[in-house]
Chain A
Amino acid sequence: MSQNLKIGAGLGGVVLTAGAIAFGALLSNRHHNRGYDDAANHTKRQPEGDNAQVGRSVTIRKPRAELFAFWSDFSNLPQFMENVEAIEAGADGASTWRIKAPAGQTVEVKTEIASKKQDELIAWRSVEDSEIKTSGEVRFEEAPGERGTRVSLIMDYDPPAGTLGRVVAKLFLREPQVQARHDLKRFKMLMETGEIATSARTRDETRAAKQENG
Chain B
Amino acid sequence: MMRALTWHGTKDVRVDTVSDPEIINPRDAIIKITSTAICGSDLHLYDGVIPGVVPGDVLGHEFMGEVVETGSASDLKKGQRVVVPFTISCGGCFHCKQQQYSACDNSNPVEKQDMSATLYGQPMAALFGYSHLTGGYSGGQAEYARVPFSDVGPIVIPDHLEDDQVLFLSDILPTGWMAAENADIQPDDTVAVWGCGPVGLFAIQSAIVMGASKVIAIDHYPNRLALAKELGAEIIDFRETDVREALMEMSGGIGVDAVIDAVGMESHGFAIDNMFDVVKQKVGMGADRASALKQAILAVRFGGKVSIPSVYGGMTDKWPLGAMMEKGLQIRGGQTHVQKYTKLLLEKIEDGTLDTTFLISHRLPLEQAAEGYRNFKEQQNEWTKVILKPEMEN
Residues of A within 8 A of B (CB): 59, 61, 146-148, 178, 181-182, 185-186, 188-189, 192-203, 206-207
Residues of B within 8 A of A (CB): 18-22, 24-27, 58, 73, 90-94, 97, 105-114, 126, 132, 135-138, 146, 148-149
A201 contacts B138, C-beta separation under 8 Å: yes
B27 contacts A197, C-beta separation under 8 Å: no
CA distance A207 to B21 in the complex (A): 16
A188 contacts B21, C-beta separation under 8 Å: no
CA distance A206 to B137 in the complex (A): 12
Q: Which residue of A lies closest to B91 (CB)?
A: A193
Min CB distance, A128 to chain B, in Å? Answer: 34
Chain A residues with Cβ under 8 A from B108's Cβ? 197
Instruction: Tell which of A186, A189, A193, A201 touches B146, judged by Cβ atoms closer than 8 Å.
Output: A201
B109 contacts A61, C-beta separation under 8 Å: no
A59 contacts B106, C-beta separation under 8 Å: no
B110 contacts A182, C-beta separation under 8 Å: yes
Instruction: Tell which of A146, A178, A188 touches B106, judged by Cβ atoms closer than 8 Å.
Output: A188
Instruction: Tell which of A148, A186, A194 touches B110, judged by Cβ atoms closer than 8 Å.
Output: A186
Chain B residues with Cβ under 8 A from A206's Cβ? 24
Chain B residues with Cβ under 8 A from A194's Cβ? 26-27, 73
Min CB distance, B96 to chain A, in Å? Answer: 9
Chain A residues with Cβ under 8 A from B22's Cβ? 201-203
B106 contacts A192, C-beta separation under 8 Å: yes
A192 contacts B137, C-beta separation under 8 Å: no
Q: A59-B94, A61-B93, A199-B135 are in contact. Are A192 and B24 (CB under 8 A)?
A: no
CA distance A146 to B90 in the complex (A): 17
A61 contacts B110, C-beta separation under 8 Å: no
Chain A residues with Cβ under 8 A from B90's Cβ? 189, 192-193, 197
Instruction: Tell which of B26, B91, B126 touches A197, judged by Cβ atoms closer than 8 Å.
Output: B126
Min CB distance, B133 to chain A, in Å? Answer: 11
CA distance A24 to B26 in the complex (A): 29
Instruction: Tell which of B24, B26, B105 touches A200, judged by Cβ atoms closer than 8 Å.
Output: B24
Min CB distance, A38 to chain B, in Å? Answer: 20
Q: Which residue of B lies closest to A143 (CB)?
A: B94
Q: A182-B111, A197-B109, A201-B146 are in contact. Are A192 and B21 (CB under 8 A)?
A: no
Chain A residues with Cβ under 8 A from B109's Cβ? 196-199
Residue among A59, A194, A200 facing the most chain B CB atoms (10 A cut-off): A200
CA distance A193 to B137 in the complex (A): 18
Chain A residues with Cβ under 8 A from B92's Cβ? 61, 192-193
A195 contacts B26, C-beta separation under 8 Å: yes
CA distance A186 to B112 in the complex (A): 12
Q: A185-B110, A197-B107, A197-B109 are in contact. Are A202 and B19 (CB under 8 A)?
A: yes
Chain A residues with Cβ under 8 A from B135's Cβ? 197, 199
Instruction: Tell which of A148, A178, A181, A195 touches B25, judged by Cβ atoms closer than 8 Å.
Output: A195
A193 contacts B19, C-beta separation under 8 Å: no
Chain A residues with Cβ under 8 A from B138's Cβ? 199, 201
Can you offer 20 A-B residue contacts whose CB atoms are under 8 A?
A61-B92, A61-B94, A61-B97, A182-B110, A182-B111, A185-B110, A186-B110, A192-B93, A193-B91, A193-B93, A194-B27, A195-B26, A197-B106, A197-B126, A199-B109, A199-B138, A201-B19, A201-B58, A201-B138, A202-B21
A189 contacts B27, C-beta separation under 8 Å: no
Residue among B26, B109, B114, B126 facing the most chain A CB atoms (10 A cut-off): B109
B111 contacts A195, C-beta separation under 8 Å: no
Chain A residues with Cβ under 8 A from B112's Cβ? 199
CA distance A186 to B136 in the complex (A): 17
B106 contacts A193, C-beta separation under 8 Å: yes
Instruction: Tell which of B27, B94, B132, B136 touches A147, judged by Cβ atoms closer than 8 Å.
Output: B94
CA distance A122 to B114 in the complex (A): 28
Chain B residues with Cβ under 8 A from A201's Cβ? 18-19, 21-22, 58, 138, 146
Min CB distance, A173 to chain B, in Å? Answer: 9
A188 contacts B105, C-beta separation under 8 Å: yes
B111 contacts A192, C-beta separation under 8 Å: no
Min CB distance, B316 to chain A, in Å? Answer: 30
CA distance A181 to B111 in the complex (A): 10
**Besides A192-B106, A197-B109, A199-B138, 19 other CB < 8 A contacts?**
A61-B93, A61-B94, A147-B94, A192-B93, A192-B105, A193-B92, A193-B149, A194-B26, A195-B73, A196-B25, A197-B25, A197-B107, A197-B135, A197-B148, A199-B137, A200-B24, A201-B21, A201-B22, A207-B111
CA distance A202 to B137 in the complex (A): 11
Instruction: Tell which of B24, B91, B105, B113 touches A198, judged by Cβ atoms closer than 8 Å.
Output: B24
Chain A residues with Cβ under 8 A from B137's Cβ? 199
CA distance A59 to B94 in the complex (A): 8
Min CB distance, A101 to chain B, in Å? Answer: 19
Chain A residues with Cβ under 8 A from B97's Cβ? 61, 146
B106 contacts A189, C-beta separation under 8 Å: yes
CA distance A207 to B109 in the complex (A): 10
Q: Which residue of A lies closest to B4 (CB)?
A: A201
CA distance A198 to B112 in the complex (A): 10
Min CB distance, A124 to chain B, in Å? Answer: 23
Min CB distance, A188 to chain B, in Å? Answer: 7
Min CB distance, B248 to chain A, in Å? Answer: 46
Q: Which residue of A lies closest to B128 (CB)?
A: A199
Q: Which residue of A lies closest to B108 (CB)?
A: A197
Chain B residues with Cβ under 8 A from A148's Cβ? 94
Min CB distance, A176 to chain B, in Å? Answer: 15
Chain B residues with Cβ under 8 A from A188's Cβ? 93, 105-106
Min CB distance, A59 to chain B, in Å? Answer: 6
Min CB distance, B110 to chain A, in Å? Answer: 4
